[in-house]
């Protein structure tokens, strides 16, 4: 087995590899199927996209010819122009860079910088590929749908409307997700009708959220909407100077999974492989810290139990909320 083949195999096995260098210098004798599998995995993990930008021609063509695996893969199949070697490489790089911009998390979706970034894609030749992805793929990244809304042309609306229809038919978490598109949408009679129906469905769904009944139970009264969140930090710091235990709690009547908890034991240094976590929501989770899970109403009891079991003291809970932060804080302290 060649060095390149061994590196590809190591990457697929989860071992640390400078995979961008491996792919850029891939010899013709390397196992092409294994290299294609590596690139397809990169495409499914946005933080690895930079490593997929510069590839040999035969590998690019192999990836484009492979059965579609993700919306990003479909996008590349539609966006990349397969001309001569130079054209192919330039087109591939431009399409991968667009995927990186679509997956960017540096700026919040509602920020002006993010809007400008997505609007630039909406005005680019890559818009047609995004329209094709949305028209032929049930699960599409929200940012692609935002690009369609920013464009607002007939082809973009034709690709966007089925996703709105699916959310309205299912009446599930897709309603919340697609509501985020509205600030970006051009006003048209068809979209106005759909978004009005979306607003009505969201209002009904939110007004019946169990989070609202929970709010009444802890003394917040009857609210039309309830959300609050706070960070979890242990008072003691580890050798890196950060809290040894940290996490968050989130309650949000606007979300289908309205109760979410995460707690991690953070070990010193940059190696995160030794960290352990307990994470759960309404559908279950993991419990590597062996502290169990709880319901929302038992959260205060669970936090005290965690402090005793893990032998820690919690820093002050700084609650962000649309309700009464002091009452929530008093409830948490028992």
Residues 168-212 have pLDDT tens digits of 766 666 777 778 888 888 777 877 887 888 888 777 777 778 899
Q: State percent of the chain over pLDDT 70.
A: 96
* φ/ψ of residue 314, rounded to 5: -80, 140
Per-residue confidence at 272, pLDDT binned at 50, 70, 90?
low
Distance CA 328, CA 150 (A): 39
**Contact (CB, 8 A) for 89 and 61:** no
Residue 250 CB coordination number (10 Å): 17
What is the pLDDT, as a whole number, of residue 172?
A: 63
Element (H, E) at 262: strand 259-265
Distance CA 151, CA 277 (A): 42
The DSSP symbol for 73 reads H
Residue 41 CB coordination number (10 Å): 16
CA angle 33, 43, 271 (to 5 degrees): 100
**Contact (CB, 8 A) for 242 and 264:** no
pTM exceeds 0.85, yes or no: no
pLDDT tens, position by position, 124-154: 999 999 999 999 888 899 999 999 999 988 8
What is the pLDDT, as a whole number, of residue 218?
A: 94
Q: Is the pLDDT of residue 118 over 90?
A: yes
Distance CA 64, CA 130 (A): 16
Among 302, 299, 308, smallest CA distance to 228 is for 299
**Contact (CB, 8 A) for 220 and 327:** yes
Among 223, 215, 222, 232, smallest CA distance to 327 is for 215
Radius of gyration of the chain from its Cα atoms, rounded to whole angstroms: 24
The DSSP symbol for 311 reads T
């Amino acid at each position: 087995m060649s060095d390149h083949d061994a590196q590809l195999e190591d990457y697929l096995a989860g071992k640390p590899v400078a995979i961008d260098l491996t792919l850029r210098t891939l010899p013709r004798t390397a196992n092409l199927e294994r290299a294609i599998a590596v690139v397809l995995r990169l495409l499914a993990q946005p933080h690895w996209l930079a490593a997929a930008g510069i590839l040999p021609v035969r590998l690019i063509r192999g990836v484009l010819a492979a059965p579609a695996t993700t919306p990003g893969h479909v996008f590349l199949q539609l966006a990349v122009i397969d001309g001569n070697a130079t054209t192919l490489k330039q087109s591939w790089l431009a399409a991968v860079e667009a995927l990186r911009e679509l997956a960017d998390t540096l700026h919040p979706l509602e920020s002006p910088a993010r809007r400008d970034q997505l609007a630039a894609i909406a005005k680019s030749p890559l818009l047609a590929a995004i329209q094709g992805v949305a028209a032929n793929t049930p699960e599409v990244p929200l940012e692609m749908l935002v690009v369609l809304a920013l464009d607002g042309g007939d082809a973009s609306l034709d690709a966007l409307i089925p996703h709105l229809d699916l959310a309205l038919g299912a009446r599930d978490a897709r309603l919340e997700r697609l509501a985020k598109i509205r600030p970006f949408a051009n006003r048209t009679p068809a979209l106005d009708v759909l978004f009005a129906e979306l607003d009505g469905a969201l209002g009904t769904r939110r007004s019946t959220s169990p989070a609202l009944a929970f709010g009444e139970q802890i003394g917040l009264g009857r609210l039309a909407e309830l959300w609050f969140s706070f960070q979890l930090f242990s008072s003691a710091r580890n050798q890196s100077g950060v809290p040894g235990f940290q996490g968050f709690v989130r309650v949000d009547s606007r979300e289908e999974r309205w109760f979410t908890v995460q707690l991690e034991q953070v070990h010193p240094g940059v190696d995160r492989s030794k960290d352990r976590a307990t994470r759960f929501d309404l559908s279950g989770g993991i419990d590597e810290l062996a502290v169990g899970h709880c319901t929302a109403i038992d959260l205060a009891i669970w936090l005290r139990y965690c402090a005793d079991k893990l032998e820690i003291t919690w820093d002050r809970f700084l609650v962000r909320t649309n309700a009464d932060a002091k009452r929530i804080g008093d409830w948490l302290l028992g």
